[in-house]
Every structure is written in C-alpha cells, then in structure tokens.
Amino acid sequence: MLKQFARGVAALSLVATNVAAIGVKVNPETRMIEDLLGRTLLFHGVNVVYKLPPYIPTLEGPFDKDNSLIAEDIQNLQDWGMNFVRLGVMWEGVERERGVYDEAYLDKVELLINRLGEAGIYTLVDNH
C-alpha cells in the first residue's frame, strides 16, 4: 500500500511540476486559466471515457473510430483544432480487486497523457 501511496504522491508532484513548467495558472481575479504571458487559454476538446474493460482506448494498432487513441487519432484532434482531452480513469481499472492495483493500467494512462502532451493537447484526468 505504501508503494501505491508513494506513486500517487509522485504523480501529483509530477503534474504540479509540469503545470508550473508550462506556466499554466488560474487567475484568482478573473478565474480564467492563463499562460505565462497572462493570456487566457481557451480549451477545445473531447471526452475520452471507456467505462468497460480495459477502461482505456486502444493505444496501438489500426485506427478504430470508436476505440482507438493512436497517433492518427491524436493527429486528427490537432487538425481539428482540439487542444484538450477529458480522460476518464476508471477506479475499476486502477484497483482490479481490493488492495490490488493494476500498474500496467496506470502505465498506459501515463503513456497516453504524455503522448497527448507531446502533441500540445492538455489532459484533465477525471477519476470515476
């Protein structure tokens, strides 16, 4: 359990570090999200939520309009002017049985978030 707690703390620290590194902040006066230059950021995006196993889209293989989020999908999002994904992370995917955490699932979630970030697409992790 301590290992999972440490990983969670490390992940939260990484998120905080990345947010600071890219200069995204909430302006307390306007309540808008801004960049380092004080410009308001506008987000355009989609929901990516898979409520059934494996609880994450296909990350490799052929394009599938319903189930993949591969390089082609990410390129399409960019081409359509999208810069945001709300990613559903299902607790059933994280903790497959009481006290047993699926590290492979968490690795896939991290990989997907990093791929989106490399493409300039922000990710909101929505825990379900």
Model pLDDT for residues 2-56, shown as the tens digit of each residue? 445 444 544 443 444 455 556 789 999 999 999 989 999 999 999 999 999 999 9
Asked if 95 contacts 101 with a C-beta cutoff of 8 angstroms, the reply is: yes
C-alpha span between 113 and 124 (Å, rounded): 9
Q: How far apart (Å, rounded) are the C-alpha atoms in residues 127 and 125?
A: 6
Helix (H) and strand (E) counts in the chain: 4, 7
pLDDT tens for each residue of 47-81: 999 999 999 999 999 999 999 999 999 999 999 99
Distance CA 108, CA 85 (A): 15
Domain positions in the chain: 1-42, 43-128
Identify the H or E element spanning 86: strand 84-89
Distance CA 34, CA 47 (A): 22
